[in-house]
Structure 1
């Protein structure tokens, strides 16, 4: 591939009012030369481009095949005069069908035809511009500059499905999800729905732009993006380790043994039916729900990660005084692997029950005590850790303390007798009296783990 040269005269124009071209830059490898014979010569025009420092993860331009515009096809088959009348009649009928199809699906301007190469590990980037204040918008431009713009996708423009479909045949594919834990869950859920699935499954890395970013912490990508060079992140996502992560299915059915309490804005189901990070109900879900409703009402007040955490602390203090969920054990029944743990919840005075799939929760705290249980928790061990929390323990998690360890289990069954706030991976709502059954999905996802993780670094 020859270099794609672009010209620049901005510097000269500002300093001297001249429009003379000062430099030429390759749009792919970003090599820059002065427009002088001593620096740039005509021989460089046809020079082959090696795509620069990020060549192993860039989708080569040769993979992108532009589709011709409709009406530009030239048929090599001449229409006989006898068929002309039939073709004219068919054309009118086909026009209506074609217009209906075009309304449902916009035609693509290009397709991706990968050329297998062991040297290329393409990384497609999904960015949620709404995450992290204005960080997402700025990163979108940076990624498009460093990579092939066709491998960078704005999630607000139709979600991740189009990009995943487009690159489903790309060998050694990796994905970088830029956003909060909800963004990562979105990408993983769409991967689940692809038919046929991408094989082998691509590893998904995380650039944390959300508030808690607990999955990013567990995988070593840190607790929040702080202007780390994008190029460094791209190189590491291409070289990162791949790990498996359990995912848990939540099946919800109405509890017909009790009458609904008709709480306003209550739902028949949990926000998500697949858990990646954690599932909880009680006071912590109530705080998460209040945060979500306040942000929906006044989004301009929640454009700072620090301010968001301060709001969580404020709401936690309010519940510490009100103790709304002190009778939680009277409203729920908990069974894990067939054993009833409701009495243990009552004895511990739990105001919330938490099911952990990853070690990090609530912005980097560790509610589970690793010295408890049969084995040290892992994200691929087929076990979920069950922790009870009181309103007093919640703020103490930030100081490094733990909750009340209930058990490790493979299945769980929760029966609720009244409407209770619940959250799945940070997405919260009020759920009517229900029976919730949790079990392990019969598949795990591939995730990209940073070799030299930043852990809980903010």
Structure 2
């Protein structure tokens, strides 16, 4: 039987250890691996596994969507290193629901949550061996911090471990240079090449844009309105504080000579006021020029800059839902013992999400309205980019690959106005939400009541420019992202196993 099992013993509230024991008794320890102890790439590249993969190898991955995406990237890495194609390295994946949402497991028919039947190894193996193989779209998200965040600590924030960090120099001596700074769980050389292609495209577009210094100030001001006003206000406040501190320091040093310099001080103050009034437009323009279109100044100067990328198989989102997820994950990392059961986790997720997104009194304010801070563009088959207007009041944007979100909810729903979604059609579905209550309502009404989120569009390639700091998440892994350009592009497909019947050990 050409089957291998990957599982983390600590997953599923400790159920992972029981799963490992059950399958080791059926298959033997040489076919069952603990992801907490070994890297899947090392297993999948071993001579024994390479030999099995020639005739067709099936994997059972016990975990959530993130674990599945990790194994898919490991398969890509092995094929790339060994120079193998899909005919000489035939590996397909089934999933056992041991995560939180388990949306990929639901879509493929393996169930939405862990049950005692999952510990019956023999029926599971029989189901896996009879499962049908299908294709699943995979996507690469490349995040390129904007110019002003390239050389400070906030430019590369605390990002999920799935991301690889790259450093590029677009105009060094001897040609463009690319260096891998940090290797993430999803890294392969082909993904890095995809990122470079995105950089080249981004570079060409940015170089073709006129500099704000070449535009009339009124036009530059209009452009500046698209950027984060709060950020500019912070800068102005800092400048005023710095000016006050300097004045106070000078007053202390010159206190003994105050009378002597009184007339000079009065004269200087008058000149300074006149100078400030005359240079108001110049100072405002300088503020806008220092916060131009993300990455424009870096690319025009050919400076060294960093970006990071990772793959997704389920979704990537911006705004309100990511803010709620970030609050939950941060609390769980700080106090892991408090998150001890599935029901308790769900209640804490709801409460922390409300606090983080303006859903209750005494909490943080809601995330910003996205039309003011996020610019969305889609690429057509001819390579032409078109800007898409976000609906007013929108505070959340969710980009879907699967029609299963947050534990089986179909946010897109059924409609004849768009092409019917399919997780192997090379298209992503984009939906929006206005608040945490709007999202909660959609999650309830999509569960058998025919509801859906607000549909925006479908796309095969997406570019998003963020002009302020915002919450993001990729397949359930959230972080806080400073201003950046995010490029999402298809990177091929994976072979997954779709359960062929609705009865048996995997019933929902």
Both proteins in one fold, TM over 0.5 = yes
Q: Which of residues 357, 379, 386 is equivalent to 1:339?
A: 386
* Structure 2: gaps (5+ residues): 164-309, 380-384
Aligned residues: 334
The reply on whether 1:207 has 2:63 as its aligned counterpart is no
Q: Which of residues 24, 35, 44 is equivalent to 1:144?
A: 24
User: What are the Cα deviations for residues 394-427 of structure 1, in whole angstroms up to 9, with x where unaligned?
Assistant: 1111332311100001111100011211111111
The corresponding residue for 1:180 is: 64
The corresponding residue for 2:144 is: 253
Contact 1:127 1:177 in 2 (8 A): yes
The reply on whether 1:380 has 2:397 as its aligned counterpart is no
Q: Which of residues 336, 348, 351 is equivalent to 1:314?
A: 351
CA offset at residue 457 of structure 1? 6.6
Runs of at least 4 residues of structure 1 off by over 6 A?
257-265, 454-457
CA offset at residue 225 of structure 1? 1.4
CA offset at residue 190 of structure 1? 1.0
Written as runs of structure 1 = structure 2, the 5 A alignment for 1:403-442 is 403-441=453-491
Contact 1:419 1:432 in 2 (8 A): yes
User: What are the Cα deviations for residues 418-444 of structure 1, in whole angstroms up to 9, with x where unaligned?
Assistant: 121111111111112100111111x21
More helix by share: 2
The farther-off stretch of 261-270 and 169-178 is 261-270
Measure, in 2, the Cα distance between the counterparts of 1:233 and 1:416. Answer: 45
The corresponding residue for 2:301 is: none
Q: Which of residues 370, 373, 385 is equivalent to 2:414?
A: 370
The farther-off stretch of 204-213 and 393-402 is 393-402
Written as runs of structure 1 = structure 2, the 5 A alignment for 1:355-366 is 355-366=399-410
User: What are the Cα deviations for residues 350-393 of structure 1, in whole angstroms up to 9, with x where unaligned?
Assistant: 21111100110111111112205431100100100011122222
User: What are the Cα deviations for residues 271-305 of structure 1, in whole angstroms up to 9, with x where unaligned?
Assistant: 54111111111111111122221121222222322
TM-align CA RMSD: 2.5
Q: Which of residues 434, 437, 445 is equivalent to 1:399?
A: 445
CA offset at residue 336 of structure 1? 1.8
Q: Which of residues 116, 132, 145 is equivalent to 1:241?
A: 132
Using the size of structure 2 for normalisation, the TM-score is 0.62
Measure, in 1, the Cα distance between the counterparts of 2:94 and 2:62. Answer: 9
Measure, in 2, the Cα distance between the counterparts of 1:308 and 1:257. Answer: 38
Measure, in 2, the Cα distance between the counterparts of 1:377 and 1:155. Answer: 33
The reply on whether 1:350 has 2:394 as its aligned counterpart is yes
The reply on whether 1:191 has 2:237 as its aligned counterpart is no
CA offset at residue 131 of structure 1? 1.2
SS of 2:422's partner is coil
Q: Which of residues 500, 505, 508 is equivalent to 1:451?
A: 500
Contact 1:388 1:406 in 2 (8 A): yes
Contact 2:149 2:155 in 1 (8 A): no
SS of 1:310's partner is helix
Contact 1:201 1:445 in 2 (8 A): no
User: Structure 1 residues 388 and 126 mapped into 2: Cα distance closer, same or farther (>3 Å)?
Assistant: same
Measure, in 2, the Cα distance between the counterparts of 1:283 and 1:151. Answer: 42
Contact 2:50 2:89 in 1 (8 A): no
SS of 2:462's partner is strand
Contact 1:269 1:431 in 2 (8 A): no
* Structure 1: gaps (5+ residues): 1-56, 58-121
The corresponding residue for 1:157 is: 37
User: Structure 1 residues 232 and 270 mapped into 2: Cα distance closer, same or farther (>3 Å)?
Assistant: closer
